[in-house]
Amino acid sequence: MRRPVKRLVGRAVVVGAAAVAATVLAACSGVTAGEGERSSSPTSPSSSGATTDPEAAPELDVALSEPQEDSLYPRVGDPSVDALHYDLTLDWDPDTDTLTGTEVLTFRSTTTGPKFQLDFGIPLAVETLTLDGVGVPFQERGKDLVVTADVVEDQRYELELTYAGTPAPVPVPTMRSDFSGTGFTITETHETWTMQEPYGAFTWYAVNDHPSDKALYDFTLSVASPWVGVANGTLESRTDEGGTTTTTFSLDDPAASYLTTVAFGDFEQTEDRSESGVPISYWVNRAADPGVLSDLRVTPEAMAWLEDLLGPYPYDTFGVLVVDSESGMETQTLVTLGDTEYTTSAKVVLHELAHHWYGDTVTPDDWRDVWMNEGMAMYLQGMWEADHGAGTIDEVMDGWAQFEDEERTFAGPPADYDKDSFGSGNIYYGPALMWHELRQMIGDERFFDVVRGWPEANANGNAGRDDYLPWLEEQTGEELTEFFDAWLLGDVTPPRD
């Protein structure tokens, strides 16, 4: 998630927005039966789905997770499901704004019980559903898809469903003006794009929509030519037959649901390559200003700069997708950026690329620790700005420090923020200043050793502050409890050296 423009709305508007955000969050996340409830019985009787061998498909073991219930947004996601692989076949009809989907989800049950549930968008209707090939009862309750079937702890299952409808974004608890709703978005020209933080992937597929549950993905996307469907991962194939363009993408490193992306539109692919040999693709609308593509050409330079500090880029491919939005998102291997001068600027490209080390390969297991993503990406952005004419890094930090206290007062401490102010500046600037203070305290050598070492030691994993902070103390040999408490949990900006 890119840093927010400093305070885009006035204080009076913010107060009113807080009440609205709290109300719509309760409305979109509730699981009350009867609110948008739909149900179905199986076409043939079944006592349960037939379980599969938990040792089967060992290639999926890389996606084994320990799903959690979120401390701030507990009504989204379900820790009873450990998603391992999503196979999504999606067809977009811009004439009717209809998304038609077939989904095959391989998952591990983390509990033994008579049912399980996923998050799934209200405008979409399930047409058929089977578990290990057998029809089972299910209900759509608000945003929850509840499947009635006996599941056994640590057993793996294959859930297949077909669905269709017109997806729509859902409100999220934020004061930011650039993403008041998240999920599947349809433009005025009937093109589509998705961004979903802290949740919203459930607006276009059935998912355990929580960052603690990473999974592998395959996408097959179809749309009338010359439009094309674009998603995360490696482009495996593209065909244009009978007036339809079909693309397949494979994401073979586990990703959290908020880091997935899909878009349908009149996009043109331009290929590039990093200095280290990573293939890069830019997907830009054919009608876009040529300057947009020119701006994105900074990507190889930005990747080389980050690799020098953080080590090799952690994935096989990288790309940038430019869409009709005012925001940006570090969607894994394919960053999604709005088509504004700011969101396609070098510093935003650098920021979102930095997230592939901090946020993508190592992902928080709870939204309370989103500062772990944003603080380091923001500090690296500050270093980039300093290296490219913004003054010294000390001067950049001094400039941010002038308003950090205001951000902290507005939305709370970075690691104890107001849950109705998700994504505010407090999770960006305060942690960035904290990292600079730690760098000054322990020196460049030790500082950059731990900055590089954390994603290397935890690749493709999840972690929280209870993992991160003790690790930092162990690696630096410093007792840092008071330091971190002051910066992450304090009501005011700590004194700076």
How do residues 194-208 score in pLDDT, each as one tens digit? Answer: 999 999 999 999 999
What value, to the nearest 5°, has the Cα angle with vertex 90 and ends 206 and 325? Answer: 85
pTM of the model: 0.91
CB–CB of 113/147 below 8 Å?
no
- What element of type H or E holds 82? strand 81-93
Residue 466 burial by Cβ neighbours in a 10 Å radius (0-12, 13-18, 19+):
exposed
* Residue-level pLDDT at 212: 98
Paired sense of beta strands 98-109 and 81-93, if any: antiparallel
What value, to the nearest 5°, has the Cα angle with vertex 359 and ends 356 and 361? Answer: 60
Residue 145 forms beta bridges with which residues?
118, 140
- What element of type H or E holds 81? strand 81-93
| Torsion angle, alpha carbons of 206, 208, 214, 217, to 10 | -10
Assess whether pLDDT exceeds 50 at residue 32. Answer: no
CB–CB of 328/346 below 8 Å?
no
Query: How many residues are there in the chain?
Result: 497
CA dihedral for 117, 118, 122, 125, sign (positive or negative): negative
Mean pLDDT of 393-415: 97
- 331 phi-psi bin (left φ>0, alpha ψ -120 to 50, beta other): beta
Assess whether pLDDT exceeds 90 at residue 232. Answer: yes
* Residue-level pLDDT at 318: 98
* Residue-level pLDDT at 8: 34
d(C-alpha 99, C-alpha 262), whole Å:
12
| Structure tokens that stand for 242 in this block | 């009978």
3-state secondary structure (DSSP) of residue 203: helix
Assess whether pLDDT exceeds 80 at residue 396. Answer: yes
Half-sphere exposure of 79 (CA within 13 A, CB side): 11
| Structure tokens that stand for 121 in this block | 């968008």
| Structure tokens that stand for 77 in this block | 């996601």
Mean pLDDT of 48-75: 81
Name the percent of the chain lying above pLDDT 90: 87
Assess whether pLDDT exceeds 90 at residue 137. Answer: yes
Which of 221, 216, 89, 231 minimizes the C-alpha distance to 160? Answer: 89
* Residue-level pLDDT at 422: 97
- H/E/C letters for each residue in 355-419? CHHHHHCEEECCHHHCHHHHHHHHHHHHHHHHHCCCCCHHHHHHHHHHHHHHHHHHHCCCCCCCC
More confident residue, 246 or 22: 246
Assess whether pLDDT exceeds 70 at residue 13. Answer: no
Those residues with Cβ within 8 angstroms of residue 341's Cβ, 6 or more apart along the chain or in another chain: none
* Residue-level pLDDT at 46: 39
d(C-alpha 277, C-alpha 317), whole Å:
9
Assess whether pLDDT exceeds 70 at residue 462. Answer: yes
Confidence of residue 497 (pLDDT cuts 50, 70, 90): confident
